[in-house]
Amino acid sequence: MKLEMKDSPGQLVAALRPISDVGGNIIAVIHQREPGSHDGLLNVQIVLDLPERRLDELVGLLQKEGVHIQRIGRERLLYRRTVIMIGHLMHTDLSDTIDRIDSTGFAEVSELAMSMPAISERSSSRLTIKSVTKEDMERAIEILRSVSQEKDLLLIEPLEEMA
Amino acid sequence: MKIAVIGLGSVGRGVLETLAGKNIGLSVTGIADSKSGYIDPSGIDIKKVLMQKKKTGRCGDAGMTAMDVVREADYDILVEVSPTNATDGEPALSYMKTAIKRKKHVVTSNKGPIALAYKELKALAKKKGVALRHEATVAGAVPVFHTLEQGLAGNDIRAVFGVLNGTCNYILTRMAEEGLTYEQALLEAREMGYAEADPTYDVKGIDAAIKLVILANTIWGNGVTLDDVDRTGIDRLTPEAIRLAEEGDCTIRLIAEADKSSGLLRVSPRIIRKNHPLVVEGSLNAISIETDLAKEITLIGKGAGSIETASAIIGDLLFIAERYGRRP
């Protein structure tokens, strides 16, 4: 979220405190004084991870501190990972494969690209998975590993985390 | 210092040709191939022996075995460059043990004995006060062990990632570049001399896994074996899968990965961004090392080749000559 506050001692701390009060986790704080800005206001961008349904409470607390909220950008799921699966994807029930992730409640398949060269040949697919936390992502990947083994699919994982 | 060379395949010939062509202060007093052996305490005429090998297929007397040379020749360093036996490391393992027991240093390119018995060989070498060096076993010419043991001395090595098999990297590069199928790229690799008639050892990730085991044992002394490596090869990859990866500015490479804290050892095809330092072209090798002090270091170079591998052997020989050579 992007905040605007008075550029005076203690203001930033006052704005950050409510975040931990509602159980949020601050990921990054970016603040810059723009040259030539003499209006005594400070623009701050805060990236944070907040539990479900606590946002309204936080907004109320911030307003009480005299902090003006310029913009709130929301992304419910924070972690993304793209994997590739190769094999007889249709014959082994692709919608079941996807559902194993979607039904967890903590991760979901957000994108799917497929390439099927011929009916009898193996097809290739690229899946992007989203999850709320890194641990959830690990659990989701672990599910895909066991599904791949069960359905004799080749699972190709990324070497590193993609933002 | 005096050296004895066991094995006159591509690597052995590369070492001898280099020694014949460059004056680096080492004399050869023993040579053996699989069929013969030759000893001359006053120094062997290398060019003559290489010529004879080319003509007759033998480097010396049929009555003399490699073990005779290991046991009897007058040398300071044994250069063990005979073919790899991944099952039990023999007969190279016995050559090395025999030499070390004679208080001779050992330099090798032979992956079998190092992957199977590194701990035992290292302990024996320590007891006898000699060096055991194996720079050439992983990533050919790339000085990975010199970097790890000397250059990064004092660092805590946290993880290693590598492209350790040139054959697989060549196949994957060609599949990505030309949209070839795995089978087509493998055929091409064979024609180029990058793949063996039986490519199993390379394409199933066994060769990369053996090198990963050598890296883990050398770095952490953890005694892991080939069975501890979670291994997936490249033989089920499709050109469509690589194209799907490329749509996201990524590609697919066979990556060997060892992590200290989790104990993970894995060789598998991975999605990797195209501008990642490990994405090298053709038959090149690359290794990324993660440490506490230096953070990340990546080395890239030729993973195979006669003279290239000889470079790693010569580096080990001169390291030993420098460190132990001026002994009274």
pLDDT for res A106? 87
Q: What is the pLDDT of residues B131-159, one digit of tens each?
A: 999 999 999 999 999 999 999 999 999 99
A103 lies in the same domain as A52: no
Q: What is the pLDDT of residues B178-199, one digit of tens each?
A: 999 999 999 999 999 888 888 9
**Which among B248, B31, B185 is positioned nearest to A163, based on CA atoms?**
B248
Q: In chain B, which residue's Cα lies nearest the Cα of A112?
A: B244
Cis geometry, peptide bond prior to residue B91 (ω within 30 degrees of 0): yes
Residues B238, A156: C-beta atoms closer than 8 Å: no
Q: Mutation test of the interface with chain B: which of A116, A124, A148, choosing the one with the most B Cβ atoms within 10 A?
A: A124
What are the chain B neighbours of A154 within 8 Å (beta carbons)?
232, 236-237, 269
**Which among B13, B8, B1, B133 is positioned nearest to B69, based on CA atoms?**
B8
pLDDT for res B303? 93
Using H for helix, E for strand and C for coil, what is the string for chain B? CEEEEECCCHHHHHHHHHHHHCCCCCEEEEEECCCCEEECCCCCCHHHHHHHHHHHCCCCECCCCHHHHHHHCCCCEEEECCCCCCCCCCCHHHHHHHHHHCCCEEEECCHHHHHHHHHHHHHHHHHHCCCEECHHHCCCCCCHHHHHHHHCCCCCEEEEEEECCHHHHHHHHHHHHHCCCHHHHHHHHHHCCCCCCCCHHHHCCHHHHHHHHHHHHHHHCCCCCHHHCEECCCCCCCHHHHHHHHCCCEEEEEEEEEECCCCCEEEEEEEEECCCCCCCCCCEEEEEEEECCCCEEEEEEECCCHHHHHHHHHHHHHHHHHHHCCCC
C-beta separation of A112 from A69 below 8 A: no
Which of B237, B241, B270 shows the shortest C-beta gap to A158? B270
Q: Is residue A162 part of a domain?
A: no
**Which residue is catalytic, options B103, B211, B295, B302?**
B211
Q: In chain A, which residue's Cα lies nearest the Cα of B161?
A: A159
What are the chain B neighbours of A156 within 8 Å (beta carbons)?
237, 241, 245, 252, 268-271
pLDDT band at B328 (very low <50, low <70, confident <90, very high): very low
A152 lies in the same domain as A88: yes
C-alpha span between B290 and A59 (Å, rounded): 42
CATH superfamily of the domain spanning B2-141+307-324: NAD(P)-binding Rossmann-like Domain (3.40.50.720)
A85 lies in the same domain as A151: yes
Cβ neighbours of residue B322 under 8 Å, at least 6 residues apart? none
HSE-CB at A34 with a 13 A cutoff on CA atoms is 10
Q: Is residue A152 part of a domain?
A: yes
C-alpha span between B133 and B135 (Å, rounded): 6
For residue B211, indicate whether it is catalytic.
yes
What are the chain A neighbours of B252 within 8 Å (beta carbons)?
84, 156
Give how far the C-alpha of residue A105 lies from the chain's centroid of Cα atoms, to the nearest Å. Answer: 14
Residues B241, A156: C-beta atoms closer than 8 Å: yes
A54 lies in the same domain as A83: no
DSSP state of A54: -
What token pair was written down for A69?
């909220």
A127 lies in the same domain as A101: yes
More confident residue, A134 or B251: B251
Q: What is the pLDDT of residues B12-22, one digit of tens each?
A: 999 999 999 99
Which of A22, A52, A71 is the last residue in one of the domains?
A: A71
Q: Indicate the Cα dihedral angle A61, A63, A67, A69, nearest 10°.
A: 100
Domain extent listing, chain B: 2-141+307-324, 149-302
What mean pLDDT is predicted for residues B225-239?
A: 96
Strand order across the beta sheet in which B105-108 lies: B37-39, B27-32, B2-6, B77-80, B105-108, B132-133
C-alpha span between B134 and B146 (Å, rounded): 10
Q: How do the pLDDT tens digits run along chain A, 163 residues long?
A: 777 777 777 777 887 888 888 888 887 777 766 665 666 777 777 878 777 778 888 888 888 888 888 777 766 667 889 999 999 999 999 999 999 999 998 889 989 999 998 888 899 999 999 887 888 999 999 999 999 999 999 999 999 865 4
What mean pLDDT is predicted for residues B117-140?
A: 97
Distance from CA of B162 to the nearest CA of A (A): 11
A31 lies in the same domain as A65: yes
A65 lies in the same domain as A98: no
Which of A43, A71, A99 is the last residue in one of the domains?
A: A71
User: What CATH number belongs to B149-302?
Assistant: 3.30.360.10
C-alpha span between B110 and B214 (Å, rounded): 11
Q: In chain A, which residue's Cα lies nearest the Cα of B268?
A: A156
A84 lies in the same domain as A61: no
How many structural domains are present in chain A? 2
Residues A115, B244: C-beta atoms closer than 8 Å: yes
Distance from CA of B243 to the nearest CA of A (A): 9
A55: left (phi over 0), alpha (psi -120 to 50) or beta: alpha
Return the minimum-mean-pLDDT range out of A58-67, B58-67, B124-133, B200-209.
A58-67
pLDDT at B33 over 90: yes
A67 lies in the same domain as A83: no
Which of B238, B257, B278 shows the shortest C-beta gap to A86? B238
ipTM: 0.87
> Which residues form the domain of A10?
2-71
pLDDT mean across residues, chain B: 95
Q: What is the pLDDT of residues B252-282, one digit of tens each?
A: 999 999 999 999 999 999 999 999 999 999 9
